[in-house]
Structure 1
Amino acid sequence: MTVRVPARVAAALTRFCGPDWVADLPRRAAERLDAWGLAPAGDPLHGAVSLVLPVTTADGRPAMLKIQPVDAETRGEPDALRAWDGDGCVRLLDHDPGSGDLLLEALDPGRDLDSTIDAHGIDRALETIAGLLTTLNARPGPPGLRRLGPMTERLVARARRLRAAADPPGDLDAALDRWAGVAAAVAPEAGDRLLHWDLHYQNVLAPLPGTGRGPWLAIDPKPLAGDPGYELLPALWNRFPSGPGAERLLRRRFDLLTEATGADRERARAWTLVRVLENTVWSLEEGDTARPAQMLALARALGS
């Protein structure tokens, strides 16, 4: 069976996955369709690092075939989806350990939580995110999942090396030092809850009509085991506010999320600053000068 990857999808995936991986996608997709008895049922979709094909299973059910590179972030996705078993998230139907390919229940890709914000306001979206996080974080991380504690210790070391090598501007240099100190302090007690890691508004989809699922379900986790306070940054950072009231709006988002999830405010603040540090280190390593300014604004909103 021939599977064509649209040029726009190939271009988007090449940035993160490389041209060789993208060039091999038609073969991989055709092989998996044949192995699982699937029939294509729509135009290919994509995430930042995945090709998603709408399909119909051999017994006539709609589903989604997800093909992505297997790395430290994606390796635990099938284990996390099995642990959640559809409670608050998309349901895993099948998984090929050799390739990492996933067969997922079909949700509605045209109805994500982000599309509701203009009509209903961001507070309602934040309440939905908080409800999903409360459900998803209720379980312990499965054995073998990456752990937040060691990740944080490595992040502190990277931040300190970066400060020594890159000589960032004074305000950012001082902030990196503060945030690394916070990260070093909380790393020894990093928790064991099953975390999604990337629950922003576009990673929440509505179910298909008539399935009795939802009303909203999380997709595309990059799971790890750790403290639920580490989960809040995507909903704070996405739809980043601008203007003179930006820090006040960010603080309001944080207050709403911590209240709705029942999180310990100071612990959630500390772990959010760890995420701020993580985003800043990535950005500086990649030469991105825009994101650190947003991270500084977010940290100021949190009092750091």
Structure 2
Amino acid sequence: MPIPVPDALAAYYAKQSPEHLPWLRALPTLADTMLEQWSLKVDGPARHGMVALVIPVVRPDRTPAVLKLQPRDEENDGEPLALRHWAGTAAVHLLDHDEPTGSMLLERLDASRPLSALPASEGIAVIADLLSRLHVPAPPGIRTLTDIATAMLTERPLLNRLTNPTERTLAIACADATAAAISEPGNRLLHWDLHYDNVLASSRTPWLAIDPKPISGHPAFDLMPSLDNAYLTPTALLHRFDHLTESLSLDRPTATAWTLARTLQNTLWSLHDGETTLHPIQATIAHTLLSR
């Protein structure tokens, strides 16, 4: 039987990524092709996130794995390279990769046990430990934070679309911080999206990172996903931020600047989507860090 496209995944692509609808229509055929190419047997119902379809499978040697299928784009194109570079250290193992389609065969982790199941106060130590081991020198071929930050700053005029003057001032302060931080772009391999649902339990080690959107840059650009993963009071936010900066031995002003750059990035995306207000969590993070 062909692998069906989940309704929720189809709805996401129709609304947020219509340019990839041809890929989505071909997804059942792609799944069948990759199952045959790697001699895989389906071993349970498929799951999906925002973008990818993940199918639990068994390899010919009876090793459990997952087949991950997603359209190739700028954000995920470096995922196989990053996973190969990490070689299973703090991240899921890449078992095989089909370059033309971007399909990946990955080590199977325990999807029923994400880090988000733990209290955030406990999970932050896991995030800090994983980041400390993921932040190795980046290999060639990974998109750079310099290019990303430079492109963000060219879109600074979009901040005038924010209708609330206080929010607009806050967003401009984030742009100013980004402009100041760009002189220290860094060269570490960043995960970019290490929030609590992108960490799963594993039989070979307690926790492993999944689903990187790799960037070569400053480690502080990796803090935001674990800060805005759930609503935080300013006190809890600062505790989480301080834990990360201390564990990763980051200069606090630099860490603040690159975290504000992530607020700028998120705000620009919202403005492109037609929003005219600053997201409350982003506003809280920016205001708290700037007021310290």
TM-score (norm 2): 0.94
The answer to whether the 8 Å contact 1:114/1:201 transfers is yes
1:260 to 247, 253, 272: 247
In the TM superposition, 1:1-304 aligns within 5 A as 2-18=2-18, 19-117=21-119, 122-137=120-135, 139-158=136-155, 160-164=156-160, 166=161, 168-207=163-202, 211=203, 213-241=204-232, 246-288=233-275, 292-304=279-291
- For 1:167 and 1:81, the matched residues in 2 are separated by 38
Question: Distance between the aligned counterparts of 1:231 and 1:197, measured in 2?
Answer: 5
| Partner AA of 2:79 in structure 1 | E
Q: Distance in 1 between matches of 2:146 and 2:47?
A: 34
* Residues 167 and 277 in structure 2, CA contact (< 8 A), matched pair in contact too: no
Deviates more, 1:270-279 or 1:4-13: 4-13
Q: Partners in 1 of 2:279 and 2:219 — Cα distance?
A: 23
Distance in 2 (alpha carbons) for counterparts of 1:177 and 1:288 = 16
What letter corresponds to residue 265 of structure 1 in structure 2?
R
Residues 213-222 or 177-186, more deviating: 177-186
Query: Percent identity of the aligned residues?
Result: 43
Give the Cα separation in 1 of the matches to 2:255 and 2:184: 13
TM-score (norm 1): 0.90
> Whole-Å Cα distance in 1 between the matches of residues 32 and 278 of structure 2?
39
How far residue 288 of structure 1 moved from its aligned partner, in angstroms, is 3.7
1:161 maps to a residue whose letter is P
* 1:199 Cα deviation after fit: 0.3
Q: Is residue 162–residue 277 contact of structure 2 (8 Å, CA) maintained in 1?
A: no
- Contact 1:116/1:125 (<8 A) preserved: yes
Q: 1:167 to 1:255 in 2, by over 3 A?
A: closer
Per-residue deviation, 1:252: 1.4
Contact 2:92 2:210 in 1 (8 A): yes
Amino acid at match of 1:126: I
Output the aligned Cα RMSD. Answer: 1.6
Q: Displacement, 1:15?
A: 4.0
2: CA distance, partners of 1:266 / 1:67? 39
- Specify the SS of the correspondent of 1:176: helix
Q: Which runs of 5+ in 2 are unaligned?
A: none
Provide Cα deviations, 1:123-166, integer angstroms capped at 9, x if missing partner. Answer: 210000000000001x11110110001110110111x22034x2
Deviation for aligned residue 1:8: 3.9
**Cα drift, residue 298 of structure 1:** 0.7
Q: Secondary structure at the residue paired with 2:290?
A: coil
Q: CA deviation at 1:173?
A: 1.7
Task: Write the distance in 2 (CA, Å) between the matches of 1:291 and 1:69.
Answer: 29
State the Cα distance separating 1:14 from its structure 2 match.
4.3
Q: Is contact 1:150-1:187 (8 Å) kept?
A: no
Number of corresponding residues:
289
Per the alignment, do residues 100 and 236 of structure 1 end up closer, same or farther by CA in structure 2, a change over 3 Å counting? same
For 2:145 and 2:290, how far apart are their aligned partners in 1?
A: 23
- Aligned partners of 1:60, 1:205: CA distance in 2, in Å? 22
SS state of the match for residue 189, structure 1?
A: coil
Give how far 1:286 is off: 1.0
| Structure 1 stretches lacking a partner, 5+ long | none
